[in-house]
Structure 1
């Protein structure tokens, strides 16, 4: 279910290469795009992380990636 904060395909093509890549031994349950949509939803709506819509990845997953990506930029 797309929200106004959801990435378009064109935006995703630009952003995907900027995200860190990890070697995986198994397929992830959630895609980076789904996780980033969760981050963008929270940032745009200002809701608590635990109040993300249920069809998005779990808030703990979204928040963990948000922290990793934020730390990764040197802040």
Structure 2
């Protein structure tokens, strides 16, 4: 079954070299493209891991791949490589020279605890003593 979130052949041709293991490995039970389609389906729909449709590999297998790649930085590597390819194709430098941070999406740090930010209050009568 095909979903709107599935990789097209063109998208797969870009991502496939980035996810190929550089050496011999044991045979895979599920293709990497199907595993990525499952992850992209989850991201697109926002469904729970356990609610992954039966057309995809078991949710635990998909989750383990996603989690392993998250810990190892593989998702960042894929993102950075695709970003640089897109930038080069549009005639820009491979890495951006500036960034914009939206203040609504970045939490600000609290400056110390409540005691550190507020002076102690004393009544006028207590300050006479």
TM-score, length-scaled by structure 1: 0.87
Give me the whole-angstrom Cα distance separating, in 2, the residues matched to 1:70 and 1:57. 19
Counterpart for residue 14 of structure 1: 14
Give me the whole-angstrom Cα distance separating, in 1, the residues matched to 2:35 and 2:25. 17
Give me the whole-angstrom Cα distance separating, in 1, the residues matched to 2:48 and 2:24. 31
Q: 5+ residue gaps in structure 1?
A: none
Counterpart for residue 23 of structure 1: 24
Task: Say whether residues 1:47 and 2:43 are aligned partners.
Answer: no
TM-score, length-scaled by structure 2: 0.53
* Structure whose alpha-carbon radius of gyration is higher: 2
Number of aligned residue pairs: 74
Give me the whole-angstrom Cα distance separating, in 1, the residues matched to 2:50 and 2:11. 26
Aligned-residue CA RMSD in angstroms?
1.7
Q: Kindly indicate whether structure 1 or structure 2 has the higher relative contact order, using CA contacts under 8 Å at least 6 residues apart.
A: 1
Give me the whole-angstrom Cα distance separating, in 2, the residues matched to 1:51 and 1:60. 11
Query: SS where residue 39 of structure 2 aligns?
Result: helix
Give me the whole-angstrom Cα distance separating, in 2, the residues matched to 1:50 and 1:20. 27
Contact 1:19/1:69 (CA < 8 Å) preserved in 2?
no
Contact 1:34/1:56 (CA < 8 Å) preserved in 2?
yes
1:23 positional shift:
3.1
